[in-house]
Each structure stands twice: as C-alpha cells, then as structure tokens.
Structure 1
Amino acid sequence: LNILNLRQNKISADGVKYLSQALQNNETLKTLVFDLNHIGQQGTQYLADGLENNKALTTIQLGYNAIGVEGTKLLSNALQKNT
C-alpha cells in the first residue's frame, strides 16, 4: 500500500490515535490523504506522535482539519525529529 486516502471520513481524534500507532510502524506508505476530517488539537497531537519516527511517508495532505497554530507547532516539531 503506497497511498491511503482517508479524505472526508469524519475521523475523530480517537481514530487518529489508532492511525498514529500504525504510522509508527509504517515502512511502505508514501502518501496519506487526510483532508477534511477536523481532527482538532488532540488528533493533531496523536498524528504528530505517529510521524516522529516514520521514515517512509513523503506526502501528507491535512487541509481543513482544524489544526490551528498549536497543532502546526506540534507537527513541525515531529517532522524535525523525523529527519
């Protein structure tokens, strides 16, 4: 599986928690399409946790997820640890 499209699936923060666990062990997924899920601050924290050690993912689409400034900082920090 190279591309996972979860666009507009009403995935909650709890759902992102499970996705995050999968992303931590991912070695093949290259693209995650995750627009329009409105995951909010808590979901963004879970997502950031999953991205910290993920070396395979090269593209992620996160439009319209109510991430906000603090969520952007969380993702930025996770991606800095990731490189």
Structure 2
Amino acid sequence: MRARTQEIEQVNAMLEKSFEQVKENFLLSIQVFSGLLELREGGLAGYSRQVADLARRTARRMGLGPRVEEDVHSAGLLHEIGKIGFPDAL
C-alpha cells in the first residue's frame, strides 16, 4: 500500500511540474503575441501591457481572486489580437 501511495505521489509531482511548464509556455506565448501586435502598431508600444495591468488591478479591487486576476491580465494583453490578420495599411 505504501509503495503504491509513493508511486502516486511521484506521478502527481511530475504532473504538477508539467502543468507549471505548460502554464509558463502559455504565458510566454501571450507575451510574444502581444509584442507582435505592438510592433505593428508602432506608436502604441506598451498599450496592451497598460490595459492588462489596469484589468488586473480592477479584478483585484473587485476581490475576484488571483485566478481571475491572471485571466483578465492575459485578456488585456490579447485584447487586440484580431488586428494581427489585418493588413498594416489599415
């Protein structure tokens, strides 16, 4: 019984580590897309980060919890993602 419990604990630890790596990669991808959008916009450098930070602070003041704070921050970084498919001339 103890051996099985230890095995399950080891697998659980590996899964938690894998989840954290996937989460870090996801957040990095969001930052990359946000950076690409800002490169295209030129004069709006930092705008998505400002929106994301404001969204996070608003969620914090509303007491929505750390998970929602992180989600709205990510949404703020990507709020103009639809523009990535538009021609630069627009």
- Length-normalised TM-score, structure 1: 0.27
- Larger RCO (alpha carbons 8 Å, 6+ apart): 1
More helix as a share of residues: 2
Please give the TM-score of this superposition, normalised by the length of structure 2. Answer: 0.25
